[in-house]
Amino acid sequence: MDVVILAAGKGTRMRSSRPKVLQPLAGRPLLAHVLDTARALDAARICVVVGHGADAVRAALDAPDLRWVEQSPQLGTGHAVQQALPELSPDGVALVLYGDVPLITRDTLRRLVEAVAADRLALLTQTVAEPDGYGRIVRDARGKVQRIVEHKDANELERRIHEINTGILAAPVVRLEDWLARIGNDNAQGEYYLTDIVALAVADGVEVVTASPSAGWETAGVNDRRQLAALERTLQATIADALLDAGVTLADPARIDVRGTLECGTDVEIDVDCVFEGRVVLGDGVRIGAHCVLRDAVIGGGTRIAPFSHIESTSTGRDCVIGPYARTRPGTVLADAVHLGNFVEVKNSHVGQGSKANHLAYVGDADVGAGVNIGAGVITCNYDGVNKHRTVIEDEAFVGSDVQLVAPVRVGRGATIGAGTTLTRDAPENQLTISRVKQTSVRWKRPAKKTT
């Protein structure tokens, strides 16, 4: 089986310079979702027909298993499939999908493909309450499919039909090639409709069979921002259902966004309005507070992330406590039982077991040992305006409040750095290092506000 994905449309109603099939759904382009489904079907070939923004679409999603065909000019769906025919196996079956119909499932498509044969054309149809705008499935008195009529070309009686064409079909390639060569463009749009092959199949004595999707939302397409937003909520609801079925506790299933993949262990709890981007893995017993954002993160079992924390490209050990209002940036690795409190930022640093920075600190480009205490207001001065330098804080060191560590610098094992120190040279282990101006008191009178 070969798959043809039609992805040439401009998407004028999106009002965007970005091609429609690259509009994001759950953090990924619409077309990426369709490609995932096509690959899940183990298709022999996947051919993508592009047009508007072809270079951008290919640059965003190119892969060795894809064959790209450009449709120019864009003269309708039938013309688009015609462009793909040279890439398809002539003795196989072609499954036609759409780059702006991202939620179609593998199981529904398998049923459709199983219905097709050398002497059959298989259509995916759906019965809807409001069919306006859709092509209607016209059947004879025996219930046999005779043709598809587009809404703009339908008469009053045909517009009363509630069975619609989803556009998705499967056909023998050799038959498809013949039918596409015979369709015309005598219609309201002046385009070559792929749907016109149905009447030709009937005329040739080829049986037209139908299948239906498991859920109505599978065939929902995207033409404007409103439809895109509605589809986003639909997809997020299905993701939330899957998480609940897997045993994850969601404080409100309607208030979670997964824009990538989220893997959860047992007894994971997620509060409201959390966003997960890229690949996120939550170990057993992890608790995520409200309004957190996690991107490309692996969180060890038993870790608690308090509300309003942002975790990016970070891995943690077990039983860490992070936040509230903490931020970890790319390259952060936390060992077991690390505590990062409110308004602590860590970037490109390794923090050892049991170390703590409980509030108002910046740790960047640093190697922090085990059992280290980092006080309030501590910063690693890692950037000299041109290059980044590393700070090393060895095991059991104590860094007092309001300390500046001017990298490159090393704090020895068990060292204590007094509050208010600006450290510009290495601090020896097991000693107190302090740099302060001498405290003095001067007699003086505070100025009084002048009165008029």
Residue 452 has pLDDT above 80, yes or no: no
- The reply to whether 297 and 208 lie within a common domain is no
**How far apart, in whole angstroms, are the C-alpha atoms of residue 351 and residue 365?**
11
Asked whether 64 and 46 are in contact (CB, 8 A), the reply is no
- The reply to whether 128 and 98 lie within a common domain is yes
> Which of 188, 219, 250 is a domain's end point?
219
**How far apart, in whole angstroms, are the C-alpha atoms of residue 131 and residue 139?**
16
Residue 117: the pLDDT is 81
- The reply to whether 267 and 388 lie within a common domain is yes
Q: Does residue 203 sit within a domain?
A: yes
What is the residue-averaged pLDDT of the chain?
A: 95
**How far apart, in whole angstroms, are the C-alpha atoms of residue 35 and residue 198?**
26
Return the CATH number at 286.
2.160.10.10
Q: Is 359 a catalytic residue?
A: yes
Residue 437: the pLDDT is 84
Residue 140: the pLDDT is 93
Q: Which of 43, 176, 167 is nearest to 118 (CA)?
A: 176
What is the arithmetic mean of pLDDT over 276-295?
98
- The reply to whether 268 and 209 lie within a common domain is no
- The reply to whether 162 and 240 lie within a common domain is no
Place of tokens 């008191």: 441
**Exposure of 77 by Cβ count < 10 A (0-12 exposed, 13-18 middle, 19+ buried)?**
buried
Those residues with Cβ within 8 angstroms of residue 261's Cβ, 6 or more apart along the chain or in another chain: 278, 279, 280
Asked whether 221 and 136 are in contact (CB, 8 A), the reply is no
Residue 180 has pLDDT above 80, yes or no: yes
- The reply to whether 277 and 181 lie within a common domain is no
Q: Does residue 88 sit within a domain?
A: yes
- The reply to whether 58 and 149 lie within a common domain is yes
Q: Does residue 71 sit within a domain?
A: yes
- The reply to whether 321 and 341 lie within a common domain is yes
Those residues with Cβ within 8 angstroms of residue 8's Cβ, 6 or more apart along the chain or in another chain: 49, 50, 51, 52, 54, 70, 71, 74, 80
Q: Catalytic one among 33, 52, 339, 359?
A: 359
Residue 157 has pLDDT above 90, yes or no: yes
Reported as type and span, the H/E element at residue 151 is: none
**How far apart, in whole angstroms, are the C-alpha atoms of residue 220 and residue 324?**
39
- The reply to whether 128 and 12 lie within a common domain is yes
Reported as type and span, the H/E element at residue 52 is: none
Residue 53 C-alpha from the chain's centroid:
21
Q: Does residue 274 sit within a domain?
A: yes
Model confidence over 360-415: pLDDT tens digits? Answer: 999 999 999 999 999 999 999 999 999 999 999 999 999 999 999 999 999 999 99
Asked whether 368 and 381 are in contact (CB, 8 A), the reply is no
Residue 10: the pLDDT is 86
Q: Does residue 307 sit within a domain?
A: yes
- The reply to whether 281 and 186 lie within a common domain is no
What is the total count of domains within the chain? 2
What is the arithmetic mean of pLDDT over 203-230?
94
- The reply to whether 270 and 417 lie within a common domain is yes
Domain that holds residue 401: 225-433
Residue 388: the pLDDT is 95
- The reply to whether 210 and 234 lie within a common domain is no
